[in-house]
Amino acid sequence: MSATRPSFRQKWLLPMATLTSAALVVFWGFYALDHLIAAPAGQGPVRRYFHFDPDSITDAVSSLAGMMAAVFGIVITVVSIIVQLSADRYTGVARMFMRDRVNLGVMGYYVIACVCGVWLSVALKEDYVPRIALVAMMSATTGGFVLMAPYFGYVFWFLEPMNIITRIRSEAARTVGRGLRESGAACESAQASALGAMEELTDITSNSISGKDKIIASGAVDALKDFTLEYLKKKPTASDAWFRIGGGIRQNPDFVAMDPESLGDLERQRTWVEWKVMRQYLGIYN
């Protein structure tokens, strides 16, 4: 079971290049036809197009920022609805979504383009047009339009249940790998992340069983098993601090209910993770 990130070439570059090329071919085809039929002689179609007149493009430049903001609004609305629907079923989805670099990069692109559009809208003068900035803003707006289709595809891929499960396991394994060698607050934070991941996988399993979704339930159980096996491989390298039940997990209901002697036994035997996994499996099958 693996959540393979979509290929940049196949999932991003090709769709954006295809949409951009198709749009430009259609526009320049009609523009060249208009130029051939009705334009005054003396300039080619490309030269005439990029010969911006300050008096005639004021409204067009101002609308670039508005169009980019409208596209950003559509993206935010659609993505928010999709993420909320997933978050109702799987805890931690919103947190994972907002930590993903692709999602942050796309949102940042739209925000930067909107800000640049606002500044460009007041940069025109009676005798001067910032042509490079204007062409860059036109390109950014075009990119914002064609980016929507592949980005929506990425969001749907990101929120597929099996990919969410695999991402939870992978992030937990990475966090534990770092926490095993830490001490103090860093170690306690890693302990809390590991425990939270185990409980998230258990919740997914229980909810899937209730909804009679056997494939997702099996995937979550396998992910909990895979996480445990990865942990056992790394366990010999762990520091002594890892096996102490720190403040980040001591308030967990399973540990709060235990008497101090039992907690001491878990610390001496260095088995609090294994014990927690067994508790999770018992909760699933009971």
- pLDDT, one tens digit per residue, over 182-191 is 878 888 888 8
Residue with tokens 């670099």: 101
Cα separation, 96 vs 104, in Å, equals 11
CA dihedral of 142, 144, 146, 150, whole degrees rounded to 10: 160
Could you tell me which of 151, 166, 171, 142 has the C-alpha nearest to residue 6? 151
Entry pTM: 0.78
Long-range contacts, stretch 218-221, CB < 8 angstroms, 24+ apart: 219/1, 219/161, 219/162, 219/165, 220/165, 221/284
pLDDT of residue 130: 87
pLDDT of residue 108: 94
**Rg, C-alpha atoms of the chain:** 27
Tens of pLDDT, residues 65-74: 888 899 999 9
Could you tell me which of 156, 3, 4, 166 has the C-alpha nearest to residue 86? 156
CB 61 within 8 A of CB 124: yes
pLDDT of residue 10: 65
Annotate the chain with three-state secondary structure. CCCCCCCHHHHHHHHHHHHHHHHHHHHHHHHHHHHHHHCCCCCCHHHHHCCCCCCCCHHHHHHHHHHHHHHHHHHHHHHHHHHHHHHHHCCCHHHHHHHCHHHHHHHHHHHHHHHHHHHHHCCCECCECCHHHHHHHHHHHHHHHHHHHHHHHHHHHHCCHHHHHHHHHHHHHHHHHHHCCCCHHHHHHHHHHHHHHHHHHHHHHHHHHHCCCHHHHHHHHHHHHHHHHHHHHHHHHCCHHHHCCCHHHHCCHHHHCCCHHHHHHHHHHCCHHHHHHHHHHHHHHC
Tens of pLDDT, residues 220-261: 888 888 988 988 898 888 888 888 888 878 888 888 878 888
CB 61 within 8 A of CB 134: yes
Please identify every stretch of the chain with a pLDDT value under 50, giving residue numbers as ranges.
1-2
Cα separation, 129 vs 142, in Å, equals 20
